[in-house]
Chains A and B, each alone.
Chain A
């Protein structure tokens, strides 16, 4: 009969709390940088330059059709062979940004293409300035259209970030692995970890909903 033992985990909750904070920090950094990569990718893709479009297409397809685990191995173990070496934490961030950037590129592109040309013309007819048109007619409605896809991709990124523990980067899953080595209460450790990730996902979800209410709700004039 299996004896459950949660005692040592509660003694080391500070370790897990710190790990959770590291995961939050890593995820938010990857979200911000990933969004920048996504916008650049989408702009390159919708630009008229064929070579640029090709490059972005290859990047997006390669990343979306290979596992994140292989991407992080390639970046952390493979790249030093051609002289690009980085610490586990840097490699983790780079891998996450490269990964989410590929998915984000497609999402942002769809957002850009979701604004009909007639809307912009209507904005001009109403004598809105180019800056006003960009803000109220293009950016906000486009962001509204892609917000659900983008934020669920970000939450998925946070969950995926647990994989960076395999190269011993600092995050919640790594803290869990350390605790597991300390206590040998494997099932209990991973049960608590799973619950913590669930709470983090719920937290991010609530945060994105709050941002939506604050900045993306109608009326459009705000």
Chain B
């Protein structure tokens, strides 16, 4: 039974934006925590730690996000948990974001001039104090633009959660399309909604980058 594409359908699609945002927020917050750990491990004095973190990054940057989602989704059964699309998507996207943010932040930490570390060490600051008060605050300013840029990638990445059956924006579009069979209109609408979420962030990332570059070349 094919329905007409009505305002109720548009509303259903718009309401699903909520889940795209919730999933993005979970993955971003989880990825920020994980990414900080990965970045610190990548820049630590211990060779073993550096190796493990590098391997983690390589695995998640060298395999498709779709495969990562499937692996976690079917992996839930392996560790004896019930199959749950939201949990699987949240875990997979968090790991994915941890690797990417870890790599971005490693670069930012290494971009802080080494004299800063030396000066902090000369002041006999401990590793924790050195990181907290000297290195990370400066690294954070360098990292802001690429981090916002990655957030765009992450929001787009949440669309793949539709494939393992989580009803976010893309899957809401598929559901409406199956009922109304107006793919041009439906996927056009969905594309516009993603664009409205991502484009402002892209512009912000670009503006931050230009500001940062000016600050460096001054």
Evaluate contact between B64 and A74: CB separation under 8 angstroms. no
Evaluate contact between A69 and B170: CB separation under 8 angstroms. yes
Residues of A within 8 A of B (CB): 2, 61-62, 64-71, 73-74, 77-82, 155, 159-160, 162-163, 165-166, 173, 186-187, 190-191, 193-194, 197-198, 201-202
Q: A160-B64, A194-B63 are in contact. Are A66 and B195 (CB under 8 A)?
A: yes
Pick from A163, A197, A201: contact of B160, CB below 8 A: A163
Enumerate 8 A-B pairs (CB-CB under 8 Å) in ascending A order.
A64-B202, A65-B202, A66-B198, A74-B184, A186-B77, A190-B70, A191-B71, A194-B71
B67 contacts the other chain (CB 8 A) = yes
Residues of B within 8 A of A (CB): 59, 62-68, 70-71, 74-75, 77-80, 152, 156-157, 159-160, 162-163, 170, 173-174, 177, 182-184, 186-188, 190-191, 194-195, 198-199, 202
Shortest distance from the beta carbon of A218 to any chain B beta carbon, whole Å: 25
Evaluate contact between A61 and B184: CB separation under 8 angstroms. no
Evaluate contact between B71 and A78: CB separation under 8 angstroms. no
Evaluate contact between B63 and A186: CB separation under 8 angstroms. no
Shortest distance from the beta carbon of A54 to any chain B beta carbon, whole Å: 16
Evaluate contact between B74 and A193: CB separation under 8 angstroms. no
Pick from B66, B74, B162, B183: contact of A81, CB below 8 A: B183
Q: Which residue of B lies closest to A195 (CB)?
A: B63
Determine the main DSSP class of A at the interface with B. helix
Evaluate contact between A187 and B75: CB separation under 8 angstroms. yes
Evaluate contact between A166 and B191: CB separation under 8 angstroms. no
In the complex, chain B residues whose CB is within 8 Å of the CB of A163? 64, 66, 160
> 19 additional contacts, CB 8 Å, given A61-B199, A68-B156, A197-B63?
A64-B202, A65-B194, A66-B195, A66-B198, A67-B156, A69-B159, A69-B163, A70-B159, A70-B170, A70-B190, A73-B183, A77-B187, A78-B183, A81-B184, A159-B65, A173-B66, A186-B74, A186-B77, A187-B74
Shortest distance from the beta carbon of B178 to any chain A beta carbon, whole Å: 11
Q: Which residue of A lies closest to B186 (CB)?
A: A78
Q: A166-B163, A173-B66, A194-B71 are in contact. Are A77 and B177 (CB under 8 A)?
A: yes
Shortest distance from the beta carbon of A5 to any chain B beta carbon, whole Å: 12
Q: A69-B170, A187-B74 are in contact. Are A201 and B183 (CB under 8 A)?
A: no
Evaluate contact between B188 and A2: CB separation under 8 angstroms. no
Evaluate contact between B64 and A162: CB separation under 8 angstroms. yes
Q: Which residue of A lies closest to B76 (CB)?
A: A187
Q: A162-B64, A162-B66, A190-B67 are in contact. Are A67 and B74 (CB under 8 A)?
A: no
Evaluate contact between A69 and B160: CB separation under 8 angstroms. yes
Shortest distance from the beta carbon of B52 to any chain A beta carbon, whole Å: 17
Evaluate contact between B78 and A187: CB separation under 8 angstroms. yes
Shortest distance from the beta carbon of B53 to any chain A beta carbon, whole Å: 17
Evaluate contact between A73 and B187: CB separation under 8 angstroms. yes
In the complex, chain B residues whose CB is within 8 Å of the CB of A191? 71
Evaluate contact between B78 and A2: CB separation under 8 angstroms. yes
